[in-house]
Amino acid sequence: MQDFFQQTQTWAQLLGPNIYLQATAIAVAFIIAGKIADLLISRVIAGIVSRSQTDFDDNLVSLLHRPVFVTFVLVGLALATVRLELGESPAFLTLGVLKTIAIVIWYSFSRSLIQIILSALSRGTGASKLHESMLPLLNNVFRVIALALAVYFAFLSWQVDVTAWLASAGIVGLALSFAAKDTLSNLFAGASIIADAPYKTGDFITLDSGERGMVTYIGLRSTRILTRDDIEITVPNGIIGNAKIINEAGGPSAKHRIRIPIGVAYGSDIDKVIAVLRAIADDHDEVCDLPEPRVRFRHFGESSLDFELLCWIDRPVDRGRMIHELNCAVYKSFQTESIEIPFPQRDLHVKSIPTPAGDVPAPS
């Protein structure tokens, strides 16, 4: 960069010994160069990117041409200031103002660029899509980073030593991290949950503590679950992030399998039992055809032959109602088909009756 400045000064000297004319020529040349760069970006590059299917590059080009033009103008004015060979204080003040203006221009550009990037990510699909609850956090974090960098470079442009400031900021940040460790734990866990997506809004999940319900909201601090009793449970993300979660709507399909255990009496026609149970599932409108319902003979129980009807439903939320309806249908069908549902039985064998104390056995 220093070589470029010296080369510019050398070219300016070709205009003659008048330093004011040289400074003016430098400023005008960079203004013209900036205008050419502005036209190149706004006309040529904008025309090329307009053919793409996304509007991200269009917004980026539209946002970029103004800072580029202003930067050329500021560089020209800075070189002109150096060429005028002003005193140390006027030159320092002028160059400091020009650098500060450049920092403000590019800080404004970075704020708009952050908004464009986050907006594009929020409209993505699949793994590239950004969860909407992450937008405010990322927007604030990136803006704070951009502001911190802008302030840092502004201090450097005015030759202010920022070492002490950075040390103080590190100590304050360490103190705040200890004071708000629970809040930070929930925030990091929330970001991890949103990024990893073990569940999403609308899924039915079961916590390792036994609560089961539909996820209604995933925030950065907590997750809210609405149980079947219409009770909302708010779980901090720091807890739920380290817990075992069963997502009933997870996997390749949101369908949910239900099990109907049933026992029949020994001596029953097992082929008939299987056919009746399969017909019950086939006749119910809300039982899925794919995967097909199935009946399994599970165990030889103490008092019954234990069968199990397995079938799939579209929504986990209907599990309780579907189990109720299928149980009713099984009971009615077994009564119609004379299939016995046994009750637990115990056989008691008495080998002898003890004689009560004090009684004398009757003579034979």
CB 191 within 8 A of CB 134: yes
Domain ranges in the chain?
Answer: 2-177, 193-247, 256-336
Which residue type occupies 151?
A: V
Sheet containing strand 232-236, strands side by side:
232-236, 222-227, 212-218, 204-207, 245-247
Q: Which residue has the tokens 């070709």?
A: 14
Is residue 50 within 8 A of residue 58, CB to CB? The reply is: yes
List, edge to edge, every strand of the sheet that includes 294-300: 256-264, 305-313, 294-300
From 132, 112, 113, select the one nearest 122 (Cα to Cα): 132
**Measured between alpha carbons, how far is 78 from 145 in angstroms, rounded to an integer?**
27
Nearest-angstrom CA–CA distance, 227 and 224: 10
Give me the pLDDT at residue 360, please.
56
Chain segment 80-99, per-residue pLDDT in tens: 888 787 788 888 899 899 99
Q: In sequence order, which ranges of the chain are alpha helices (DSSP H)? A: 2-12, 19-39, 46-49, 56-84, 88-122, 134-157, 163-179, 181-196, 237-240, 270-283, 319-336
- Closest by Cα among 110, 102, 113, 108 to 73: 102
Eight-state DSSP code of residue 318: G
Q: Write out the two tokens for 175.
A: 């103190």
What pLDDT score was predicted for residue 124? Answer: 64
Quick one: pLDDT at residue 307? 96
Task: Please report, in tens digits, the pLDDT of each residue of the chain (364 residues total).
Answer: 556 556 666 666 566 567 777 788 878 888 898 999 888 888 888 888 888 777 888 888 888 888 999 999 998 888 888 878 778 888 889 989 999 999 999 999 999 999 888 888 777 655 556 666 667 777 878 888 899 899 989 988 888 877 777 777 777 777 766 766 777 777 778 777 877 778 888 888 988 888 889 999 888 788 999 988 888 999 988 888 888 888 887 777 778 899 999 999 999 999 999 999 999 999 999 999 988 999 999 999 988 999 999 999 998 888 889 999 999 999 999 999 999 999 877 777 777 766 666 555 555 4
At residue 338, the pLDDT reads: 93
pLDDT digit string (tens) for 220-262? 788 999 988 888 999 988 888 888 888 887 777 778 899 999 9
* Per-residue b or e along 283-310, where b marks 16 or more CB atoms closer than 10 Å to that residue's CB: ebeebbeeeebebeeeeeeeebbbbbbb
Taking domain 256-336, whether its CATH number is 3.40.309.10 is answered by no
Query: DSSP string spanning 214-274?
Result: EEEEE-SSEEEEEETTS-EEEEEHHHHTTS-EEETT-SS---EEEEEEEEE-TT--HHHHH
pTM comes to 0.58
Q: What gap in Å lies between CA 274 and CA 358, rounded to an integer?
A: 60
Fold of 193-247: SH3 type barrels. (2.30.30)
Which has the closest alpha carbon to 108: 100, 96, 119, 120? 100
C-alpha–C-alpha distance, residues 192 and 325, integer Å: 40
